[in-house]
A and B are shown apart, each in its own frame.
Chain A
């Protein structure tokens, strides 16, 4: 990492995070939205690792491991729920899943 300034990592992380938010807000497919959330979490990981390297401390990297674990658990639960939704409705477009509204 010698030579690459910290700011570049942070800018990359911010760009990835913004892409994740944009994907979540503008895509209307359940799986794509879910992948956008994973992208947001990975952007967070990048920023943690970059800070951790700068400080020469290990706790940021530990946080990264926990974020990865949480992302994996979320994917397991999330895909199961998406599967259940698909079974009852035969669609993955969020706009068509709208029976709850007033």
Chain B
């Protein structure tokens, strides 16, 4: 260990190191150790071992922080910071990656695709997410964002021979790369304003400027547009429905939850860091984006017949709710963002997992009609889907209600009454289209008789997301305590 790589640096980096090492190892093992297609199942076991090592690293960091009563631990001369915020999001990423990995085997078999790259890319994407949640330097944040995005471009286009998957990857790539360009231009102006790439120094330099300085506004606008693209908030949401629909369903689940959560972690790091002092300038911008996301997401979802596309629009509207928590900006609002992101991830993941089970040979299973009569054929799946839909609509006693409650409470506490009313009104719209799915499952006649592609992995993953969605709604205290621990500062 030298002054350039101290033991603290190593301690902080362990989870990312494990993810990167295991990610590369899975790629190698795919053809070196498990060349026979039947052995590919072991890759999932290997991925889970990698996640256990990652989790052990995170656990040691968490116990280190709590045993010394520290708020944060910085490494690499301030470029990485382990704090409650980073830990909260990283635990979420670990859980999501494992759940997505264990449902993927059967799906990839049905699609007749390779396994090794797939699991490798999941780990590498998660490595990028680690840096998005942990980075406190413009370079680390940017590299984390790009590592995640590049892995996802490949994963979205994973079904190489299918037109839809190709097209989704292309649209996601073009708009993703474009938004990265805007974002990094804003970063270059941050650097020019402060002479440093550390977000603490950038925050100080921007706070020293007078409010409404045109350079600050330009940098803020470029960064804000880039970040809003990544979280798929309207009016920068165009890529989301296409990418979600065309991607393999397991990847859609990961894109809608993991990538979205990481993007929100990134957004919080930027907007509560360098841009905190420019709040009067960005607040109207974000209010516009949030209200527009609620409007477009909810209205466009009403007419969709493809469930993946419907859930894509619903995820746009959820991005609007999460942004409202940041706009409120008090303690309740910021805890509300963490609560909402995690809750949103569990329920959206669950809804997509039901679609994964519906994908059978010769049957795509993505239309609302494909869900018809699900209650009759497989009641367990139908009841779980009902729970996820209730939660997405925000009806108690599910987790979605806790998320919406926090956001609305924060808006009322900070006097944003109009926004609170708008947010509440759109819940009513949302109930309509979520219940179209419920009605198809419980009322419509059963058409398809082929059994669901249910595997042990899907059952475990669905049980975990179902228990979390219902459990957090019924007994939220432990979860809220964890989220409260995640406040930045």
Binding site for B on A (CB under 8 A): 10, 13, 17, 20, 24, 30, 33-34, 37, 40-41, 43-44, 47-48, 51-52, 55, 57, 59-60, 62-63, 66-67, 70, 73-74, 77-78, 80-82, 84-85, 88-89, 94, 97-102
Interface residues contributed by chain B, number (CB under 8 Å): 46
The distance in angstroms between the C-alpha atoms of A98 and B164, with both chains bound, is 9
Query: Are B170 and A88 in contact, CB atoms less than 8 angstroms apart?
Result: no
Residues from chain A with a CB closer than 8 A to the CB of B161 are 88
Interface: B207 (CB within 8 A): no
B160 touches A37 (CB 8 A): no
Across the interface, which residues of B come within 8 angstroms of A24, CB to CB?
A: 174, 178
- B230 contacts the other chain (Cβ, under 8 Å)? no
Identify the closest chain B residue to A33 (Cβ).
Answer: B174
Contact segment of B189-197, B440-448, B462-470: B189-197
Measured CA separation A34–B177 after assembly (Å): 9
On chain A, the residues within 8 Å of B184 by CB distance are: 41, 44, 67
Q: Using CB atoms and an 8 Å cutoff, list the residues of chain B in contact with chain A.
A: 138-139, 142-143, 146, 150, 153-154, 157, 160-164, 166-171, 173-174, 177-178, 180-182, 184-185, 187-189, 191-192, 195-197, 241-242, 245-246, 300, 303-304, 306, 309
Tell whether, in the assembled complex, residue A37 and residue B177 are in contact, meaning their CB atoms are under 8 Å apart: yes
Q: How far is the CA of A72 from the CA of B143 in the complex (A)?
A: 13
Chain A residues whose C-beta falls within 8 Å of the C-beta of B187 in the assembled complex:
44, 63
Q: Are A81 and B191 in contact, CB atoms less than 8 angstroms apart?
A: no
Question: Are B138's CB and A63's CB within 8 A?
Answer: yes
Indicate if the CB atoms of B185 and A17 lie closer than 8 Å.
yes
How distant is the Cα of A98 from the Cα of B304 in the complex, in angstroms?
A: 17
Q: Report the Cα distance A78→B146, complex, angstroms.
A: 13
Shortest Cβ distance from residue B366 to the other chain A in the assembled complex, whole angstroms: 12
Contact check, A84 vs B166: say whether CB atoms are below 8 A apart: yes
Q: Chain B residues with Cβ under 8 A from A102's Cβ? A: 241, 300, 303-304, 306, 309
- Taking A20-B181, A47-B192, A63-B138 as known contacts, 6 extra A-B pairs with beta carbons closer than 8 A to each other, sorted by chain A number, are A60-B188, A74-B146, A78-B177, A81-B153, A100-B245, A102-B309
Instruction: Please state if B309 and A88 are interface contacts (CB–CB under 8 Å).
Output: no
A85: B residues at CB distance < 8 A: 166-167, 169-170
Name 27 A/B residue pairs within 8 A (Cβ), A-sorted: A20-B181, A33-B174, A34-B174, A34-B177, A37-B177, A44-B187, A51-B192, A57-B196, A59-B197, A60-B191, A70-B146, A73-B150, A74-B173, A77-B154, A78-B173, A81-B157, A81-B166, A84-B160, A85-B166, A85-B169, A85-B170, A88-B161, A99-B163, A100-B245, A101-B242, A102-B306, A102-B309
B185 surroundings in chain A (CB, below 8 A): 17, 40, 43-44, 47
Also in contact, A81 and B303, with CB within 8 A (given A55-B195, A88-B163, A100-B246): no
A47 to B186, CA, bound (A): 10
Q: How far in angstroms is the closest Cβ of chain B from A98?
A: 8
